[in-house]
Amino acid sequence: MITAERKPFDTVYEFARRHKKVLVLGCGTCVTVCMAGGKKEAEILTSQLTLKARQDGVDLEVEEHTIERQCDREFFDEATQRKIKDADAVISLACGVGVQFCIEVLPDAIVYPGVDTKFYGATIEQGLWSERCGGCGNCVLEQFGGLCPVARCSKSLLNGPCGGSSDGKCEVNSDIDCIWQLIYDRMKKLGRLDELEQNQPAKDWTTGRDGGPRRILREDVTLEANP
Amino acid sequence: MPKSDGRLEQLFEKGHFVVTGELGPPKSVDVDLVKEKAGHLLGCVDAVNITDNQTAIVRMSSFATALLVQGQGLEPVMQITCRDRNRIAIQSDVIGAAAHGIHNILCLTGDHQCFGNHPTSKNVYDIDSIQLIAMIKAMRDEGVFACGEEIRVSKKADVKPPQVFIGAAANPFGDPFEFRVIRLAKKVAAGANFIQTQCIYDMERFAEWMKQVRNRGLHEKVKIIAGVTPLKSVGMAKYMRDSVAGMMVPDSYIDRLNKAENAAEEGIAICIEQMQQLCEIEGVAGIHLMAIEWEHKVKGIVEKAGLLPRPTI
């Protein structure tokens, strides 16, 4: 999933108080799972904003609404579009994709980000999420026993651990596992250590962000291709 | 056929046991300080490493400092890390360095920027140290850039590749320990001509690593220079032990420094003993003495270790 964290309340409140009527728009997919921007968080933020505005004597009306996904046009149904149009501004609790897509669907809407989008990660345990993929556009997992050095090594090293790997931890922070320790252990278990002795050439980064903003065009599934 | 016109390569060719030093560039345009440090090292070491913004703290560039040091008659080993520059910038620097007669380049991954004075910066790591070695080797031996294009100004012009002696680092004290010799083998396969190790305090572990190196015959394919750093104080020893990733300082050394009347003198005595022990290990081709901000002590240390005078060519 795409993970996110709630922005500090004061930041969001500052966005909200610029307007008279604000819609807090939750997203029912990734940010719901990582407890940053789903229906529950939208309800809480709405209450907090309303309460704070009342305390400050600020004239602010806050409404809350959550849709299944803010990155898909089909979920912006008529009721949702009306709520957005009725509000002076939207605080979207979706990831950065949802915030922008909301504007693409309704170009006249003022949409603020209510969360900070973080990374592609997994839920490790309740309340703990961890990065697993960097979206490099050319998956190398097979070569490393299913563990990603591009996303999970602080230096994206493809040829083994740097000198800073110590007791299985990364030099950057002891909360970070050295992915090369994990790759080594797993490849050893799989009897594939010899593969790690092969030198990996410099990576072609064009499939990632370095090739410029990306898009995927599947002609076989576009509506024009399937009349 | 020699890889470079450098002194370091020639000394190895002639079978000498080499001594390299280290010079950290200043955090300012203090040319006099560079010259002063170079003066302390001149005649005491065969070549001197010029660090590339070590610990991610902004300093005079390794390229510029290397030129200043070269002007003082010392042979520089220009360090290049992968942290701050991509393959375009690095290849440009390699050509520039070779054009200025810098004969030795040491290829490093580089400390993460979180350790330095610009922790909010972006890092690069376009290539890693092993890919960097392979890239420079291909530039030198095949006359091609990383993209495959030939290193020449036109199709009619001669290929003019950078003639440099390629170095790399090895840390026998990082984890996983079993991977450390694999890393070395990969660097040798990539084209490293010489290796400088992380500073050694745990002699037992180093000896064990060297055994693995010899078992793979790597010492016959690459010159291994053993790294040492004199401990200036108990505080420094503890800092090295506790705060530098992948560094092991045995308690016996810390005890000796604690008990000594003059810890600095004891640190130097320990360093000299280590150098003498390292000379005896099969496959060790030299000493890399990293006297951090202690350049003026280098002469005495090298002399007492029995490694002066340095050979002439």
Q: How confident is the model at residue B248 (pLDDT cuts 50, 70, 90)?
A: confident
What rounded mean pLDDT belongs to chain B? 96
Chain B, nearest residue to A194 by Cα: B182
Residue B243: pLDDT above 90? no
Contact assignment for B176 to A185 by CB distance below 8 Å: yes
B220: domain CATH number is 3.20.20.220
The answer to whether A166 contacts B174, with C-beta atoms less than 8 Å apart, is yes
Q: What is the pTM for the complete model shown? A: 0.96
B182-220 as b/e: b if 16+ CB within 10 A: bbbbbbbbbbbbbbbbbbbbbeebbeebbebbbeeebbe
Distances (CA, A) of B196 to A141, A166, A198, B18, B289: 32, 20, 22, 11, 10
In a domain, B140, yes or no: yes
DSSP H helices, chain B, are: 7-13, 31-41, 62-71, 87-99, 129-137, 177-190, 203-215, 234-243, 251-259, 263-279, 298-304
Give the number of C-alpha atoms closer than 13 A to the C-alpha of residue B256, restricted to the C-beta side: 17
Q: How many domains does chain B have?
A: 1
Is B238 domain-assigned? no
Nearest by CB: A181 against B111, B130, B175: B175
Q: Tell me the chain B residues in contact with residue A201 when contact means C-beta distances shorter than 8 Å.
A: 131, 134
d(CA B82, CA B108): 7
Residue A47 contacts B where some CB pair is shorter than 8 Å: no
What is the pLDDT, as a whole number, of residue A225?
Answer: 52
Which pLDDT tens digit goes with each residue over B10-30?
A: 999 999 999 999 999 999 999
Instruction: Give the best residue of B127, B202, B205 to mutate against chain A (max A CB count within 10 A).
Output: B127
Degrees to nearest 5, angle at CA B11 with B10 and B12 = 90
CA distance, residue A168 to nearest chain B CA (Å): 7
pLDDT-derived band at B66, boundaries 50, 70, 90: very high
Q: What is the mean pLDDT of residues B122-131?
A: 98
**Domains, chain A, ordered by start:** 2-119 (3.40.50), 134-200 (no CATH)
3-class secondary structure, A226? coil
What whole-number distance in Å separates Cα of residue A154 and Cα of residue B128?
12
Which 3 state secondary structure label does DSSP give B119? Answer: coil
CA separation for the pair B138, B146 (Å, rounded): 8
Query: Does A224 score more than 80 pLDDT?
Result: no
* CA-closest candidate to residue B88, choices B51, B132, B142: B132
Q: What is the pLDDT at residue B313?
A: 85
- pLDDT-derived band of residue B292, with 50, 70 and 90 as boundaries? confident
What is the C-alpha separation between A189 and A192, in angstroms, rounded? Answer: 8
Task: Compare all CA atoms of chain A with the CA of B87 and give the residue at the minimum distance.
Answer: A202
B48, β-bridge pairs: B21, B76
| Residues of A in Cβ contact (< 8 Å) with B112 | 154-155, 164, 171-172
Q: Is residue B313 part of a domain?
A: no
CA-based end-to-end distance of chain B:
17
In a domain, B249, yes or no: no
What does the pLDDT read at residue B303?
A: 98
- Measured CA to CA, the distance from residue B188 to residue A96 in angstroms comes to 45
Residue B224 lies in a domain: yes
Q: Is residue B201 a part of any domain in this protein?
A: yes
- Closest C-alpha to B83, from B117, B49, B121: B121
Q: Tell which of A136, A159, A165, A204 to mutate to test the B interface (max B CBs under 10 Å).
A: A159
Model confidence pLDDT, tens digit, residues A139-190: 999 999 999 999 999 999 999 999 999 999 999 999 999 999 999 999 999 9
CA–CA separation, A201 and A140 (whole Å): 12
Q: Which domain holds residue B93?
A: 7-230+283-304
In the stretch 150-169 of chain A, residues with CB closer than 8 A to chain B read 154-168
pLDDT interval class at B247 (50, 70, 90): confident
First to last CA, chain A: 33
In a domain, residue B264? The reply is no
In a domain, B75, yes or no: yes
Which one of B113, B121, B125 would you mutate to disrupt binding with A, by most A Cβ within 10 Å of its Cβ? B125
pLDDT at residue A226 tops 70? no
| Encoded tokens for B243 | 């705060």
Average pLDDT, chain A: 96
Helix axes B177-190, B129-137, angle to 10 degrees: 20
- Chain B residues in contact with A181 by the CB 8 A cut-off are 175-176
Distance (Å, whole) CA B297 – CA B37? 11
Percent of chain B residues past pLDDT 70, beyond the cut: 99
Cβ within 8 Å, pair B131-A159: yes
Max CA pair span of chain A: 69
Q: Contact A165/B183, CB-based, under 8 Å?
A: no
Does the beta-carbon distance from A168 to B175 stay under 8 Å?
A: yes
Residue B193 DSSP code: S
Cβ neighbours of B109 in A, within 8 Å: 155, 157, 162-163
Q: Is B149 helix (H, G, I), strand (E, B) or coil?
A: coil
Angle value at C-alpha B176, between B175 and B177, nearest 5 degrees = 85
Q: Would you call B179 and A160 a contact, using CB atoms and an 8 Å cutoff?
A: yes
Q: Is a pLDDT exceeding 60 seen at residue A129?
A: yes
Average pLDDT over residues B131-138: 98
